[in-house]
Structure 1
Amino acid sequence: MARPGPASEGWLGGQILIAMPSMDDPRFARSVICLCAHSPEGAMGIVLNRTIENLTFDDLLKQLEVTPIPPQRRIRLHAGGPVEGGRGFVLHTEDWSSEGSLSIEGGFALTASVDILKAIAGGDGPRQGLLALGYAGWGPGQLESEIAGNAWLSVSPDEAILFTEEDQDAKWRRALAKLKVDPLLLVGTAGRA
């Protein structure tokens, strides 16, 4: 089966989802999500603006027995979403990949193997990246229904939104600004023509 096409064909893989101000699910309020995969089977993404403060990259490397410690490079840890919170994913630039890396539209990739952590700790690996614990997931038709219900906006990704270290609200506002949208002017209901 062929991979679904780009957003213009109805699939949003590689796009950034921005929660509307009316999002009433506290797990996703004011969230910015990189949608890594989207097909008829569902969707999977990584929340970009929820950092983990009580666990460091060094702590994680110790737990996984990855050397060197201290590492030559570090990346920030994020709460990637409410699904499988103990599973790690590195969202990164596509200049590095391994056999299990998933290519994402727009020049990015997602890797879930410890090889990428070893490469980063050793001073190599991708130019930019973030480590997410968990992910956001949607079943068949669920994301499309939420978008139709005015829960999400989408915008093309860029490295600044994906990898810049900012607080939750600043990244959300910057993602909306990319659409030239003032969050104070957004309404929480969808209209029909």
Structure 2
Amino acid sequence: MTDDILQSMKGKFLLAIPGLPDPNFAQTVTCMCEHNESGALGFIVNKVHPLLTGRELFEDLNIKCDKSVDTLEIYLGGPVQPSGVFVLHGPPYDWNESLKVSDWLALSNSRDILEAIAVQKGPKSFMVVLGCAGWGPMQLDNELNDAAWLTCPISEEIIFSTDTQLKYEKAMMLIY
């Protein structure tokens, strides 16, 4: 076997196989933002932080915010870099640091997008995420070969419009 990845998972969902014992990933939907020979990066999109509010996050970051962040859910994106703040979002894509994931989705982690979100001037569709899921070179490929994950295309509706509790079930319906 060569060291080339078989198929990039960028722009796909990784779904935990039913019964996966790892508590970090049990019943998770992970949006894959990068997958190449250097490794893979994704964000769990169906685990809300049980304690942290949007207001607390923005105040911790010393970002001026308005009342809109009082009800903003903060997601747990994965066990890697748990204090890292990331934003999965739709247009616009002109933030200081953005990675285009698909034609309708980007990943940013710059202060300018957070400052805009804090005062309702950010993207219309977005999700604020703490931490990420990461894999080293060929690690995800090996897990996929071992059938540790199910895959399907990412869905704008699931990421931005589906109730968190229903995302796993809805994503499972996308498997073909």
**Taking structure 1 as the reference length, what is the TM-score of the superposition?**
0.82
- Cα displacement string for residues 119-176 of structure 1 (whole angstroms, at most 9, x for unaligned residues): 11222111111111000000011101111111111111111211235244x2111100
Distance in 2 separating the partners of 1:51 and 1:74: 12
Larger deviation: 88-97 or 77-86? Answer: 88-97
Consecutive aligned runs of 4 or more in structure 1 exceeding 3 Å deviation: 71-75
Specify which of 20, 23, 46 is matched with residue 23 of structure 1. Answer: 20
Specify which of 52, 60, 85 is matched with residue 82 of structure 2. Answer: 85
When the two structures are aligned, how many residues end up with a matched partner? 173
Q: Secondary structure at the match of 1:35?
A: strand
**Structure 1 unaligned blocks of 5 or more:** 181-193
Specify which of 118, 121, 140 is matched with residue 121 of structure 1. Answer: 118
Contact 1:15 1:35 in 2 (8 A): yes
Structure 1's 57 and 89: CA in aligned 2 closer, same or farther, altered over 3 A?
same
Contact 1:97 1:111 in 2 (8 A): no
**Taking structure 2 as the reference length, what is the TM-score of the superposition?**
0.89
Q: Secondary structure at the match of 1:66?
A: coil
Q: CA RMSD in A?
A: 2.1
> 2:173 is matched with which residue?
177
- Cα displacement string for residues 66-119 of structure 1 (whole angstroms, at most 9, x for unaligned residues): 113334796420010000101100011132431211111242111111211111
Larger deviation: 147-156 or 30-39? Answer: 147-156
Distance in 2 separating the partners of 1:142 and 1:150: 13
In structure 2, give the amino acid aligned to 1:172.
Answer: Y
